[in-house]
């Protein structure tokens, strides 16, 4: 694991992971909640997020021109990666629905048809928001070379849904919910000793 990735995991466990009883957007309930935005919108967390995503993209040799996904979870990931890429990677955002005014665009920011792109999301539970972004990106005319999420919730079947929608592009999660939970419990044990 790269230094940026291990430091990002530590920050996610500290800032974004909570134990308790939570209702999920999927309608289910869980004994934990992961709010990645408290990490991806943190100054240090943003930098680590961008570095970890760029490292993972380079490791896979995808060579995209842009990175983006469904607003709002993907926004800080796409922007931090683009900023840290030194101009080699652009960002785009996918609206949940087309604008009803102006130019009526659903894809904002980088808009070059045929461009190689990576779709990103912060948390993948059922995969619905990631699938929406994949469909909108393809409809716009992007070529999807990879799909990535920061944290994959493994119990909800999102991976299967995303992999089916992304085919032939691969789906990669930087961390699973188990990784973050384990790190959170490790930090709690250190604090209590």
How many domains would you assign to the chain?
A: 1
Interhelix angle 158-166/128-140, rounded to 10 degrees, is: 10
In a 13 Å sphere around the CA of 20, the CA atoms on its Cβ side amount to 7
Q: Give the model's pLDDT for residue 157.
A: 84
Q: Give the model's pLDDT for residue 36.
A: 97
**pLDDT tens for the 193 residues of the chain, in order:** 789 999 999 999 999 999 999 987 777 789 999 999 999 999 999 999 999 999 999 999 999 999 999 999 999 999 999 999 999 999 999 998 766 566 668 999 999 999 999 999 999 989 999 999 999 999 999 999 999 999 999 987 899 999 999 999 999 999 999 999 999 999 999 988 7
Query: What CATH number corresponds to the domain at position 25?
Result: 3.40.50.2020
Cα distance between residue 163 and residue 172, in whole Å: 9
CB 145 within 8 A of CB 169: yes
Range of the domain at 164: 3-192
Q: Give the model's pLDDT for residue 102.
A: 61
Cα distance between residue 184 and residue 19, in whole Å: 10
Residue 120's closest CA among 181, 55, 44, 173? 173
Cα distance between residue 36 and residue 158, in whole Å: 17
């Amino acid at each position: 694991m790269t230094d940026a990735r291990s430091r990002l995991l530590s920050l996610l466990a500290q800032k974004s992971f909570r134990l308790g009883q939570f209702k999920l957007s999927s309608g289910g309930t869980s004994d934990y909640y992961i709010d990645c935005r408290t990490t991806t919108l943190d100054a240090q967390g943003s930098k680590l997020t961008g570095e970890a995503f760029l490292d993972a993209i380079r490791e896979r040799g995808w060579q995209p021109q842009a990175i983006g996904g469904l607003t709002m979870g993907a926004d800080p990931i796409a922007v931090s990666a683009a900023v840290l890429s030194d101009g080699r990677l652009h960002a785009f955002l996918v609206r949940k629905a087309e604008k009803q005014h102006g130019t009526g665009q659903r894809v904002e920011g980088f808009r070059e048809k045929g461009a190689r792109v990576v779709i990103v999301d912060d948390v993948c539970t059922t995969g619905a928001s990631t699938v929406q972004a994949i469909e909108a990106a393809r409809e716009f005319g992007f070529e999807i070379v990879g799909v990535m999420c920061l944290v994959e919730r493994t119990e909800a079947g999102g991976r299967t849904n995303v992999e089916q929608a992304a085919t032939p592009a691969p789906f990669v999660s930087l961390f699973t919910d188990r990784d973050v939970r384990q790190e959170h419990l490790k930090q709690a044990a250190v604090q209590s000793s």
